[in-house]
Amino acid sequence: MPTFLSILPSRLRSGLRQRLATRLIGDPSARWAAVDDHICASLLPADPALDAALAEGEAGGLPPITVSRNQGKLLELLARIHGARRILELGTLGGYSTISLARALPEGGEVVTLEFDPHFAEVARRNIAAAGFADLVEVRVGPALETLPALAEEGRRFDMFFIDADNRNLSRYVEWAIQLGGPGSLIVADNVVGEGAIVDPQADDPWREEGGIEGVLRFYELAGADPRLDITAVQTVGSKGYDGFALALVTDLAAPPSSSADTQPAATEPLVSATTDN
């Protein structure tokens, strides 16, 4: 005999399970943060440059939404493993993740990072310079859906992308990454779980942006059907809460599925700084 939960739509069923679990075990975020602290204390050495970047961001009034220390290290390791030489970041905030990515560069490598907010970009430039990467990092200011076409017109190419920006345009950003990268390029897209909001029709937008949940759901629909991508996504918990990231390898440049017309580049909506991590 089917249970009550089994007859519900899968998205509603998953969301209900999540709310029931939270009521039964309480808020686990304190333990998540404690585990992150243990990981960082055990595995990662003191890092004055990143500590200074956090302090500078706080002093400058930036929102406290940078990536965690261990997440930044993951980005650095992914770039090293991939052998990335030219990295494009969408969503600079205060430059914390930018510094992590720049540390992975080989001689002659570069990071280009895009930021909508001029104040955030100025704070990031100071942090990047203080960390010793001013010559390796270019910060571009403006809406990404205007900056990305400019990079294409300049003939710029990249082999790794970190997308940590507004979620309503996530599919468009991924499409631009495919076009600016090509086969063999690596795409990391942050904030694709949102406290389980992607399976909970009653959830408020955890990223506090209009159209964020819909944008992420559209990303899942289009990316899962795109023959150019070999892709997965992973849930994460930690000091930054409950979210997740997608990891994709561009395999070829065959025509995307017809349903991806929504991803075609357009310069109508600005990139904003990432809403949970940077």
Region 27-47: mean pLDDT is: 93
Which string of DSSP letters, residue by residue, matches 207-276? T-STTHHHHHHHHHHHHHT-TTEEEEEEEEEETTEEEEEEEEEE---PPPPGGGGGGS--SSS---B-SS
Confidence (pLDDT) at 96: 98
Q: What's the sign of the alpha-carbon dihedral 67, 71, 75, 77?
A: positive
Domains and CATH numbers, the chain: 5-263 (3.40.50.150)
Region 105-114: mean pLDDT is: 98
Q: Who's near 38: CB < 8 A, 6+ residues apart?
A: none
Q: Are the C-beta atoms of 104 and 230 separated by less than 8 Å?
A: no
Confidence (pLDDT) at 207: 83
Q: Which long-range contacts (CB under 8 A, 24 or more apart) does 4-13 make?
A: 10/199, 11/198, 11/199, 11/200, 11/201, 12/200, 12/201
Confidence (pLDDT) at 100: 98
Q: Of 11 and 84, which is predicted with more confidence? A: 84
Residues paired with residue 174 on neighbouring β-strands, in sequence order? none
Chain centroid, CA 27 distance in Å: 25
**C-alpha torsion angle, residues 174, 179, 181, 182 (rounded to 10):** 110
Confidence (pLDDT) at 202: 83
Give the pLDDT band (50/70/90) at residue 267.
very low
Q: Of 111 and 259, which is predicted with more confidence? A: 111
What global pTM score does this model have? 0.85
Residues paired with residue 235 on neighbouring β-strands, in sequence order? 244
125: which 2 tokens?
Answer: 């430039």
